[in-house]
Structure 1
Amino acid sequence: MVPGEYSKMMPQAVYNVELVSSTKSIKHELWPLDAIDPVQAKFPCCLVWTPLPVVSWLAPFIGHVGICREDGVILDFAGSNFVNTNDFAFGPVARYLQLDREKCCFPTSLAAHKCKQGYQHSQFGTAITWDDGLQSSKRYLEHKSYNLFTCNCHSFVANCLNRACYDGSMSWNMINVAALILWKGHWVDGMSIVRSFLPFVLVVCMGIAMVGWPFLIGLSLLSLLLVGWFIMGTYCIKSLLEC
C-alpha cells in the first residue's frame, strides 16, 4: 500500500458508516411476554371478559371487558372517572384473548407509521408502546362519566385498540370489541362456563315455570332491543355512543 493511502480512505469509510446509521430506521423491540396465569390473574396483552351481575343473567352475551398491560395487569373502566388497575370489577376473568403486538402501529414519528391512516392515527393519539397506549386511554377515560348504554368498559378497550391501530384498524367500537372476545376468546376453565351461563339458565327455567313461554318471548325481545340499540348507536348515530 502506498504511504498515505490508508489515511485517505478513512474519512470515506467513516462517512459511509454514519450514512447507513442515520438512514436506518429505529424499530421498537417487543420483548417476550410472560405466560398467561389465571391463578394470579395475569393475562399479558389480553382482552378479558367476565359476566355482569343481573345483566348477564338476562343477556349472557353482555359482560364486563378489560384489557391487560404487557406484565399481565388488568385495566378496566368500572365507573365514572375511574379506571381499575389490577382489580377486575365483577369477579375473576372468565374468557380471554391474547392480542398480537406485531399487528399494532407504534410510530416514533409521522413518517414511521406502518398503518394506512397515519395522519388520522396521529390526530387521534398514537402510542409508541402497548403500555403507553393503555396509559393514554386510561387518562382519557378518567375524565368521562360511565354509562352502561353509551360509555362503558367496551368504549375504553376500543379506545386502547384505536390508539395502537390494532390490526390496521381505527374503527374499533363496542360492537366489534364484544364480537372479538365472544367469538375468539378462550374460556379460563369449565367453572367459568358454568358461572357465565348457569344464572341465565336458572332465570329462564324459573320464568317459564312461573309465567310460561311468553317469558321467553319477552326475554328474546329484550335481547333484540339491547343489540339493536348498540348497533344503531354505533353505526347510525355515532354521537350517541361516543365518550
Structure 2
Amino acid sequence: MGICTSTGVIRDFAGPYFVSEDNMAFGKPAKYWKLDPAQVYASGPNAWDTAVHDASEEYKHRMHNLCCDNCHSHVALALNLMRYNNSTTWNMVTLCFLCLLYGKYVSVGAFVKTWLPFVLLLGIILTVSLVFNLR
C-alpha cells in the first residue's frame, strides 16, 4: 500500500528504513482508492504533500514489521497527520477494509492477478476435502 503526493508520486514503506518513490515493493498497483483532497483538515496549501512527506520521513527511521508496522501503517500516519476526513484514528485495519470496499482495480488483469491464486487454492482445498469425505 502506498500514498501519492499531489503530483502522483507514490510513496511506499517498502522495507526497513526505506520509503520508495514510484517503485512499490510488490510491483505496480493493482487497485487504487482515490481520496478527496478537500477532506484534508490540516491548514495550508500543501497540507497533503506535507503530511505524506512527514510520514515518509518518520518511516525512513523505522524497522519494517510485516504484521504491526508496515506500508499500511505508513499510509495511516499520513492520513492522521493531514486529519483526512477530520479523523486521527486511521490505522492499518481500517485502511484494509476501506480499500477492499472502495478500491477500484486498474484493469481486468489486475483483478485476475489478485483473486486467481486464492480461487485456485480454495478449489484445491475443497477438492481434497471432498475426496477424503467420500471415502
TM-score (norm 1): 0.51
Aligned to 1:69: 5
- Greater RCO structure (CA 8 Å; 6+ sep): 2
> Deviation of residue 178 (structure 1)?
1.0
Unaligned runs of 5+ in 1: 1-64, 109-126, 214-243
Aligned to 1:194: 112
Letter in 2 for 1:89: A
Per-residue CA distance 1:148-192 (angstroms, 9 max, x = gap): 111111100000000000000000001111122110111111111
> Deviation of residue 85 (structure 1)?
0.6
Aligned to 1:212: 129
Question: Does the 8 A contact of 1:76 with 1:88 survive in 2?
Answer: yes
Question: Does the 8 A contact of 1:106 with 1:128 survive in 2?
Answer: no
Mapping for residues 1-243 of structure 1, pairs under 5 Å: 65-107=1-43, 128-209=46-127, 211-212=128-129
Question: What secondary structure does 1:98 align onto?
Answer: coil
Unaligned runs of 5+ in 2: 131-135
Residues in 2 aligned to 1:128 and 1:208: alpha-carbon distance in whole angstroms: 52
Runs of 4+ with deviation above 3 angstroms: none
Residues in 2 aligned to 1:128 and 1:107: alpha-carbon distance in whole angstroms: 8
Residues in 2 aligned to 1:128 and 1:75: alpha-carbon distance in whole angstroms: 16
TM-score (norm 2): 0.89
Residues in 2 aligned to 1:193 and 1:78: alpha-carbon distance in whole angstroms: 22
Question: What secondary structure does 1:75 align onto?
Answer: strand
Q: Percent identity?
A: 37
> Deviation of residue 84 (structure 1)?
1.0
